[in-house]
Amino acid sequence: MIQLPCPWCGPRNVAEFRYSGEVTPRPDPATATPEQWRDYLYIRRNPSGWVDETWYHGTGCRRFIRVSRHTVSNEARPAVRTGTTAPVDVTSTDSGAPDAGGAR
């Protein structure tokens, strides 16, 4: 069983997470054509290599997190917390949040 680097909880077994899929931006429903909307619903890059994914740590911090995972080696890189686009600050310890670096 692989581990995922949760930016809040540290490395945890993947069974604690639910896969929410490749990060796919939601088009503006007011302007999206049906084709664009269905691309958002069904079409994924599915690369052989690195891919940004959203996972839900339901059996842990209950946060939606982003993970960069290599689909061939299953290597997973320290993630960003959702809601932000910046990588987690691995040096900060005073925020009440854990360090996220070196999860692998």
- Point out which residues bind other proteins (CB under 8 A): 1-3, 5, 8-13, 15-16, 18, 20, 26, 29-30, 32, 34, 37, 40-41, 54, 56, 58-64, 74, 82-84, 93, 95-104
Task: Tell me whether residue 37 or residue 45 sits nearer to other proteins (CB atom).
Answer: 37
Tokens of 59: 């059996």
* Cα–Cα distances in angstroms (integers) from residue 48 to residues 19, 23, 24, 51, in the given order: 18, 16, 17, 8
Nearest CA to 4 out of 61, 86, 84 is that of 61
CB of 90 to other proteins, least distance (A): 8
Task: Tell me whether residue 47 or residue 84 sits nearer to other proteins (CB atom).
Answer: 84
Task: Tell me whether residue 45 or residue 89 sits nearer to other proteins (CB atom).
Answer: 89
Looking up tokens 């910046």 gives 86
CB of 89 to other proteins, least distance (A): 11
For residue 56, the SS3 value is: strand
